[in-house]
């Protein structure tokens, strides 16, 4: 797969995940209230590269929090 195609696939996957999370948050906030609408786009990501980013995201956040303290 060429690099341009790969980048387009990643962008499309994340865009779909964002739209899916947004729609589910609308439904949940309507049915259960705004405090229950906490869907993240990372829940719906399917691309392997984005899944790796998702895995490293928690590590990066915890390291940043340690540095701030």
**How does pLDDT run across 54-68, given as a tens digit for each residue?**
778 778 888 888 888
pLDDT tens for residues 22-51? 898 888 888 887 777 677 887 788 888 887
pTM across the whole model? 0.66
Tokens in use for 24? 């589910």
Give CA–CA dist 12/44, Å, rounded.
12
Buried b (16+ CB within 10 A) or exposed e, 20-48: ebeeebeebeeeeeeeebebebbebbebe
């Amino acid at each position: 797969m060429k690099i341009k195609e790969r980048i387009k696939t990643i962008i499309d996957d994340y865009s779909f995940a964002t739209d899916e999370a947004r729609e589910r948050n609308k439904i949940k906030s309507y049915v259960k209230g705004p405090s229950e609408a906490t869907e993240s786009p990372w829940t719906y990501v399917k691309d392997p590269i984005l899944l790796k980013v998702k895995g490293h995201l928690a590590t990066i956040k915890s390291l940043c929090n340690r540095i701030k303290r």
